[in-house]
Amino acid sequence: MSKPKVAFFDFACCEGCQLQVANLGEMVLDLIDIVDIVEFREVMSEKWDGEFDVSFIEGSITDEHAVERVKKIREKSKILVALGSCATIGGVNGMKNSFNLEEAGRYVYGEAYKFFPTIHTKAVHQVVRVDYFINGCPIYQPEFLTVLKCILKGLPYYVPEYPVCVECKLNENVCMYDRGLTCMGPVTKAGCNSWCINNGNICYGCRGLTINPNSQGFKDVLKKFGIPEDFLMKKIEMYNKCKELDES
Amino acid sequence: MKIEQYRLIEKSRIKEFLNKLISIYNVVAPVEKGFNNFAFEQIRTADEVRLNYIPTILPPKKYFLPKKETILEFELGDELKVEPVTEYENLVLFGVHTCDIAGIKCLNMVLSDRPKDTAYLIRKKHITIIGIECNNYCDDYASCSFVGAHIPTTGYDLMFTELSEHFIVHVHSSKGMEIVEKTEMFKGADQNTIEELKILRNNKLKVFNNEIPTERRYIPDLFDRSFNATVWQELESKCLSCGNCTAVCPTCYCFDIKEDVELSLKRGERYRVWFSCQLDPFAKVAGGIDFRRERSARQRHRFYRKFRYHIDRYGMIFCTGCGRCSRTCMAGINLKEVLTSLIRESEAKIWRKWL
Amino acid sequence: MAKVVIKDSPYNLKRARILEVKTQTEKEKLFKLVFEDKTWLDFEPGQFIMVSLMGIGEIPVSVCSSPLNRHYFEICVRAVGKVTNSLHKLKAGDVIGVRGPYGNGFPIKLIEGHDLLIIAGGLGIAPLRSLILYAIDNRRDFGEIHILFGCKTPGELLFSDEIDEWSKRLDIHFACTVDRADPDWKGNVGLITSLIPGVDIDPIRTYAAVVGPPVMYKFVIKELLTKGLPVDQILLSFERHMKCGMGKCGRCQIQNLYCCKDGPVFTFKEIMDMAEAL
Amino acid sequence: MSRNVNINVNYLTRVEGHGNIVVKIKDGKLDECKLEIVESPRFFEAFLRGRSIFEAPHITCRICGICSCGHTLASIQAAEDALGIKPTEQTTLLRKLLLHYEELDSHILHIYLLVAPDLLGVPSFVPLVKSHLNVVKRALKMKRLCNELCDILVGRHVHPISAVIGGFSKLPSTQDLEQMHGKLVELEKDMEDTVELFASLRFPEFERDTEYVGLINDEKEYPLLYGDIGSTDGYRVSKYDYKVVVNEFVVPHASAKRTKWHRESYAVGALARFNLNYEKLHPKAKEAATALNIKPKCINPYLNTVAQIVESVHCIEDAKSIIENIWQKGINYDEIVIPDINQKGAFPLRAGEGVGAVEVPRGLLIHHYECDERGIITGANCVIPTNQNTHNIELDMVDLIPKIMDKSEEEITLALEMLVRAYDPCISCSVHMIDLRID
Ligand SMILES: Cc1cc2nc3c(=O)[nH]c(=O)nc-3n(C[C@H](O)[C@H](O)[C@H](O)COP(=O)(O)OP(=O)(O)OC[C@H]3O[C@@H](n4cnc5c(N)ncnc54)[C@H](O)[C@@H]3O)c2cc1C
Ligand code: SF4
Ligand code: SF4
Ligand code: SF4
């Protein structure tokens, strides 16, 4: 059986998730043992004209050109994977959606802004069908490998439906609420092994909201800790602004 | 109280004892994590140990039923090659509170019930428990006297109780005796110290009052009447379904079973991880139906698991009064308050019937 | 950390070889299995086994063959997800892992000497087939046998050749219905509950065994109670999420009952006051 | 010789971000030559406005995954400057350590995975697995070690977790220090082999004098984390005057903003630092420079890669001594900082303006913020190394093409690609992206 042809494509993003793959160290060798990486622009010059068995899409869709390009990739790919927060939920790029696009452009580029046509930031599934989601900003390598193995074995991957707190408790961290801080852990999908909290920081919600968050309860918690609601809304916006497009 | 079973060690020598213990065994003890949080961790020197601590973030169940535990190793291929395995370690758990010992007893009940959980039993055999008695409440969250876990009874190898000058040590097993002998730091107890212990225990009855306005024996009845209590509905809007309360509970043992294969796709393992009835996928079946969809139903289930169901099955309350679930809940769901509300509500109903 | 192999682990698996795979419908396949060590799966109708595909997962599945069959045992699996879809890709000769049987099964000893009313919805026929085959093999130990079978469309009818046979037998009363008919369908159309009023049973002498999708139970039970069946003669088998099958993992709990250990077969009496059961 | 050549490298590979090279040669004369940046703009500076300045490092490090530690450090510096927070000595040491890890990680990625394939005549590292397995293995191992170093210090290399305004939200334990030291010693050996390997490889010969710009200061150590902005033409200004340096202007053929200081263009990056601060390099790094046959002032842009190797040696050695230093002093765990948002009011807020200037792997990086009295960002500007280099790269190409005009189209293309790649451009970084395509 020939090895599946795998490609990596990037859109508006920091390319950190691709880098997480390149950063697998010696495991990269095991990886190319089982798959045939045919395009990976960040570290390879090879290009591939045929079909892709698996395409990893990194980054958000932020202009018409990107919409066309991702649609073409979809057509040529048997399986399409959204890689990282920018692709799965819009990520930090979504913060742009809170602004008037023209004004934002003008702020960064002055009058030249017209040469940078832009549209509201979209997650990949808001433009084309996505088969697998790998959340995180950046992706958590163990989860990437788990999903990859699922893909190769033709199995579905279920993104954990429970919050980061579950993993955080298992790591026996001191809860940020005990430290008087606001943490997005209770409303954020797990799967990162509570990476940030393990390292002394709070969870910023980069993996997206849990499927069934108790928003009222969360607001009450914030009230209890004396945290204004708009503060929280801003926090949610940091990664989850594009969710609005799902709902509308 | 048989005097032969008791030993003494001067309070000032406890560090010396711990260092000696460390030189012989792998010792796990409570250490400080900051912000009034503690954890059981393997220690390297006695200085790390906190004798005065409130219950650790995770209970010692993590050593008996690890957070993640391989249960099968297998090779992939046409033939089915599997090997059930377990990992264990010789450990001495030092400084375990009586509530946590009660928790381990609950785990014992469940996991030695048929079919026996072999892996658990093997691990348990290799763990020695040195308890430390609390002469006072840890904090307001505790409700150990309500469930009767505040006085040491069984479930340990050695039990340290602090007296004015000594720790009096109850030697409860030959494993405990081995430690006494190997560390060579204990002397026999005398009648005075035994008296002191008796007085202390009597005093405890006053210090540890009943934290919940009912008695333990009324609990089954209370819960039989409370399935549709309004408290549960209140929890619906409060609970965040974060699963913190069950993760930290010394008697929660529900788990998930998953598998992982190597990148080569040649070998893999099947493992179990802690899981929680508070989480979304817990009771969902393949068709997508969730038999406990409401957060209120899940919280109710948690309380019934602690205070009702297991009384029928194992004759025990599965709450140790450690207070962890209330301490950890950021939504402020407090076990003592919930129980009190249940009691008030059911009393009101009974009164109405009488009038 | 020392690692040891524990052969007596309750999670240990037995190797079972697939003798034959029969496609039943679009979504269901029937697997004929035998243990490699030539031992025999000793089970009661209604019990289930845990089926393992290494690296993919382990799921509970009812045994659907006759417990008296000493040559092989059968499972009928609907492809819905990870394990079940992967199972469908297997062929005769492949080996899978099995542990069990688990659960209580139907209380045969109680049922014997009584009439039997079997009500199956969709895949619910799988555990009931085992009971039916047992009753047929021991026909004289039972009174009247009624089988009511319903499914969504004619295409989803399982074990159709056997059903033909059952419907021809004189010692079995068989009726079948579909929710939605197709042009070729000649039989009843309507929900399974519509068949119940028509069966001629003596409620006091009858045990009803009901298995089907969760929505079905409430309505069927209502009909059965209308017929006058005593609550402890209505037997129900439930599906819950199960991971260990041994009353430990907590996933399948219905209030204080473990579906895997105390069930999956319950009398209506046991669960009628339980909010989480139906 | 009258020859028409059209080169259009769509999506330059093995660089960070999307860029194209467009070259038109008409009748043997260079008609058009540009480096187009086609990365989709992400508007960071626009959406930073209205956010708490305490979130700035978390957000801006997402400008680029490869140099996210560098962005974090520049952002922290700018924010602390605006708020008037002075880092402690321990914090400064650990930040220097982090910056070293960043340089190492990025340089190794660039040297081995991006440049080495060109020098060995293959399109990527994948064919090297067959022909040069030990080289690939070494590269991947070094990469892993660098990642592990970052993991220990700040949780991860891509978007570091525990480096925050005010210090660190987690401090390394003594075992952590031991582990990091051990890994650096391991890297040291591999680095020697790296120097040996690259000393044996031939780089293209091409020289063009330009102004090299980077941080300089009066201290003994090789300046990376702070200093004034200086150039090989002998100029020096404070970081607050960065606008004088980056001096944005528009080129007619592409109506894009570029930067220049005293000349047509200037260059930043490893080679610039090497030229500016050679004397301050660790003796071992100087030895490596000799072995690699590079000395200041080197004006062959292709040798930027070689300067990176020299710097890597320096980083390993200096990181080791920083750890030894911390070891001796002992870590003060009371300095652990509450992360983010200043929720506990750990630092007094004030209206202010601050600039951060840090030498990141690809050169001088500047973050500049203004905030109001609630600490809400009212204005932001980031100047990215690659932006500063773009014009210099183009001028290099203009100079280079006539010299290689007689070669085949493939050879010209490869030479140009290698040139661009030598600068290690980081195109997603270009939030301030200025190159346009106008019809
Ligand atoms: C006692 C008993 C007897 C049974 N007998 C039979 C039988 O005879 N025949 C039979 O076919 N079945 C039987 N079942 C049902 C069978 O066990 C399930 O169909 C099986 O477990 C499904 O496993 P799976 O791995 O194929 O599906 P999964 O992949 O686990 O799940 C299937 C679907 O559930 C959803 N899902 C599951 N987990 C998640 C998650 N974490 N996140 C998001 N979505 C999720 C998905 O939408 C998915 O499509 C029985 C069950 C019980 C309890
Ligand atoms: S620190 Fe955050 S993720 Fe961890 S338990 Fe607390 S709220 Fe949850
Ligand atoms: S802890 Fe939160 S912010 Fe950090 S990686 Fe996990 S989901 Fe993302
Ligand atoms: S800890 Fe509190 S919020 Fe979290 S699941 Fe338990 S009760 Fe709900």
Concatenating the DSSP letter of every residue in D25-47 gives EETTEEEEEEEEE-PPP--HHHH
The domain boundary residue, chosen from C65, C83, C102: C102
**Both A9 and A62 in a single domain?**
yes
List the chains bordering chain D where 3 or more Cβ pairs fall under 8 Å: A
Q: A132 vs chain D: nearest CA distance in angstroms? A: 22
Q: Looking at residue D254, what is its pLDDT?
A: 42
Give chains near B: 3+ CB pairs under 8 A: A, C
CA distance D8 to chain A (A): 15
Residue C30, min C-alpha distance to chain B (Å)? 19
The reply to whether D250 falls in a domain is: no
Task: Tell me the best of B245, B252, B277, B280 to mutate to test the pocket of ligand 4, counting ligand atoms within 8 Å of each CB and taking the most.
Answer: B245
Residue C56, chain A, CB below 8 Å: the answer is yes
Cross-strand partners of C34: C17
% of chain D residues with pLDDT over 90: 52
Chains C and D touch (3+ CB pairs under 8 A): no
Name the residue among C15, C95, C255 with its Cβ closest to that of B309.
C255
Of A23, A43, A115, the CB nearest to D157: A23
Q: What pLDDT score does D257 carry?
A: 56
| Residue A158 covered by a domain | no
Please give the residue that has the higher pLDDT: either D84 or A113. Answer: D84
Nearest to D149 by CA among D111, D187, D113: D187
Q: What is the mean pLDDT of chain A?
A: 87
* Domain assignment of residue A53, yes or no: yes
Are C127 and C229 found together in one domain? Answer: yes
**Residue C250 near chain A (CB below 8 Å):** no
Both tokens assigned to D129 = 């697995």
Q: Give the range of the structural domain holding residue D324, as residue numbers without chain letter.
A: 55-202+320-342
Are A181 and A130 part of one and the same domain? Answer: no
Ligand nearest to the CA of A174: 2
Output the residue whose Cα is nearest ligand 1's atom 39. A158
Return the residue of C nearest to B267 by Cα.
C55
Whole-number Å distance between alpha carbons of D119 and A202: 44
> Which protein residue has the closest C-alpha to ligand 4 atom 4?
B242
pLDDT in tens, A68-77: 989 999 999 9
User: How confident is the model over D283-309, as pLDDT tens digits?
Assistant: 999 999 999 999 998 999 999 999 999
Q: Rounded to the nearest 5 degrees, what angle is found at the Cα of A220, between the Cα atoms of A218 and A223?
A: 115
Indicate which of B249, B257, B309 best probes the interface with C, i.e. most C CBs within 10 Å of its own CB. B257
| Nearest Cα residue in chain A from C81 | A156
The helix (run of H) or strand (run of E) holding residue D241 is none
Find the domain containing A113 and state its range.
Answer: 5-153
> Does C276 map to a domain?
no
State residue C75 phi and psi, 5-degree precision. Answer: -130, 150
Same domain for C177 and C97, yes or no, is no
Q: What is the pLDDT of residue D36?
A: 73
The token pair that represents B40 in the structure block: 């059981």
Q: Output the pLDDT for position A208.
A: 92
Using CB distances shorter than 6 Å, the residues near ligand 1 are A 158, 161; B 281, 286; C 48, 57, 59-62, 75-78, 80-84, 123, 126, 239-240, 242, 264
Of A100, A121, A153, the residue that ends a domain is A153
- Which spans in chain B are helix H? 14-24, 61-64, 98-111, 118-125, 144-147, 174-183, 191-207, 219-224, 230-238, 244-247, 295-307, 309-314, 324-328, 335-354
Please report, for the domain that includes residue C121, its CATH number: 3.40.50.80
Question: What whole-number distance in Å separates Cα of residue A110 and Cα of residue A101?
Answer: 13
Q: Which atom of ligand 4 is nearest to the CA of B238?
A: 3
For residue D113, the domain's CATH number is 1.10.645.10
Once rounded to an integer, what is the mean pLDDT over residues B96-101?
Answer: 94
Give a yes or no: residue D95 inside a domain.
yes
Atom 2 of ligand 3 has which residue's CA nearest to it?
A: A203
C205 falls within a domain: yes
Residue D184 lies in a domain: yes
Which chain A residues are Cβ-neighbours of B331 within 8 angstroms?
Answer: 217, 220-221
Residue A29 domain flag: yes
CATH number of the domain residue C93 falls in? 2.40.30.10
Question: What's residue D435's pLDDT?
Answer: 30
Let me know if residue C269 belongs to a domain.
Answer: no
Ligand 2: atom nearest CA of A197 is 1
Cα(B41) to centroid of ligand 2, in Å?
20
Indicate yes or no: CB of B282 within 8 angstroms of CB of C251: yes
> A77 and A179 share a domain?
no
Distance from CA of C154 to the nearest CA of A (A): 30
Residues A124 and A200 in one domain: no
Task: Tell me how far apart the alpha carbons of residues A29 and B329 are, in angstroms, rounded to a whole number.
Answer: 45
User: Which residue's alpha carbon is nearest to atom 7 within ligand 4?
Assistant: B239
Model pLDDT for residues D222-261, shown as the tens digit of each residue: 999 999 999 998 899 999 998 888 876 655 444 345 677 8
Kindly state whether residues A36 and A137 are assigned to the same domain. yes
- Pick the ligand that lies closest to the CA of residue C103: 1
ipTM: 0.90
- A146 and A57 within one domain: yes
Give D16's contacts (C-beta < 8 A, 6+ positions apart).
A15, A42, D64, D65, D66, D425, D426, D427, D428, D429
* Residue A32 near chain C (CB below 8 Å): no
Please give the model's pTM, rounded to 2 decimal places: 0.91
Ligand nearest the Cα atom of residue B245: 4
Best mutation site among A171, A172, A173, A199 for ligand 2 pocket (most ligand atoms within 8 Å of CB): A173
- How many H-runs (helices) and E-runs (strands) does chain A carry? 11, 5
Distance (Å, rounded) from C-alpha B124 to C-alpha B129?
Answer: 10
What is the A195 CA–ligand 3 centroid distance (Å)?
6
Average pLDDT over residues A114-130: 85
- The answer to whether position C265 is within a domain reads no
**C256 assigned to some structural domain:** no
Residue with tokens 């962005």: D71
Closest in A10, A99, A202 to D47, CB measured: A99
Q: Which residues of chain C have a pLDDT value below 70?
A: none
User: Based on the structure, what is the number of domains in chain A?
Assistant: 2
Lowest-pLDDT choice from B119-128, B250-259, B340-349, C130-139: B340-349
D374 located within any domain: no
Q: Are residues A107 and A34 in the same domain?
A: yes
| Identity at A232, one-letter amino acid code | L
Which ligand has the shortest distance to the CA of A178? Answer: 2
pLDDT at D433: 36
Residues C82 and C166 in one domain: no
Asked whether residue C84 falls in the same domain as residue C118, the answer is: no
**A135 and A215 inside one domain:** no
Site to probe by mutation for ligand 4, drawn from B57, B231, B235, B244 as the one with most ligand atoms within 8 Å of Cβ, is: B244
Q: What is the pLDDT of residues D389-414, one digit of tens each?
A: 888 988 898 898 888 888 888 888 88
- Do C143 and C38 sit in the same domain of this protein? no
User: Do the chains contact at C84 and B286, CB–CB below 8 Å?
Assistant: yes
Give the whole-angstrom CA distance, residue D151 versus residue D380.
29
The string of DSSP letters for B232-272 reads HHHHHHH-----HHHHT-TT---EEEEEEE-TTSSEEEEEE
Q: Measured between beta carbons, which residues in chain A are less than 8 angstroms from residue D158?
A: 16-17, 19-20, 23, 138
Q: Which of A174, A198, A202, A203 has most ligand 2 atoms within 8 Å of its beta carbon, as the pocket-test mutant?
A: A203
Pair (A100, A178) in one structural domain? no
User: Which of A153, A174, A199 is the endpoint of a domain?
Assistant: A153
> Are residues A28 and A91 located together in one domain of the fold?
yes
DSSP B290: B
Neighbours of chain C (3+ CB pairs under 8 A): A, B
Residue D187 within any structural domain of the chain: yes
User: Residue A156's closest chain C neighbor by CA?
Assistant: C82
Contact C149, C126 (CB under 8 A): no
Using N-to-C axis directions, what is the helix angle for B295-307 and B230-238, rounded to 10°? 120
| C183-240 pLDDT per residue, tens | 888 888 888 888 888 888 888 999 999 999 888 898 999 888 888 889 998 999 998 8
Instruction: Indicate if the pLDDT at residue D16 is higher than 80.
Output: no
pLDDT of residue D98: 96
Q: Quick one: pLDDT at residue A233?
A: 83
Residue A62 shares a structural domain with residue A168: no
- What pLDDT is attached to residue B128? 95
CB contact under 8 A, A169 and B247: yes
Compute the nearest-CA separation of A215 from chain B (Å): 8
Distance from CA of B263 to the nearest CA of A (A): 7
User: What is the SS3 assignment for D384?
Assistant: coil
Residue linked to tokens 């069950």 = B246
Residue C24 is part of which domain span?
Answer: 14-102
**Is A172 a member of any domain?**
yes
Does residue A171 lie within any of the structural domains?
Answer: yes
Whether C20 and C94 map to the same domain: the answer is yes
Last residue of a domain, one of C86, C102, C118: C102
D298 belongs to a structural domain: no
Residue at which a domain ends, from A121, A153, A185: A153
Question: What is the pLDDT averaged over residues B317-329?
Answer: 93
Report yes or no: B8 and B186 within 8 Å, Cβ to Cβ.
yes
- Which pLDDT belongs to residue D17? 59
Q: Which of A43, A86, A121, A235 to mutate to test the interface with D (most CBs of D within 10 A)?
A: A43
Tell whether C204 lies on the interface with B, counting CB pairs under 8 A: no
C248 interface with A at CB cutoff 8 Å: no
pLDDT band at D432 (very low <50, low <70, confident <90, very high): very low
- Is C268 part of any domain? no
Choose the final residue of a domain: C102, C137, C167.
C102
Distance of residue B126 Cα from the nearest chain A Cα, in angstroms: 23
- Look at residue D297 and tell me if it is in a domain: no
- Chain B residues lying within 8 Å of A173, measured CB to CB: 57
Question: Cα(B50)–Cα(B56) distance, rounded to whole angstroms?
Answer: 11
Domains contained in chain C, number:
2
Asked whether residue A146 falls in the same domain as residue A218, the answer is no
Nearest-Cα residue of chain D relative to residue A43: D14
Distance between CA atoms of residues D385 and D212, nearest Å: 12
Nearest ligand to the CA of A143 is 3
pLDDT higher than 60, residue A131: yes
Is it the case that residue D430 has pLDDT exceeding 50?
no
Answer yes or no: is pLDDT of B55 > 50: yes
* CATH, residue A87: 3.40.50.700
* pLDDT value of residue C2: 87
C-alpha A183 – ligand 3 centre gap (Å): 10
Q: How many domains does chain D have?
A: 1
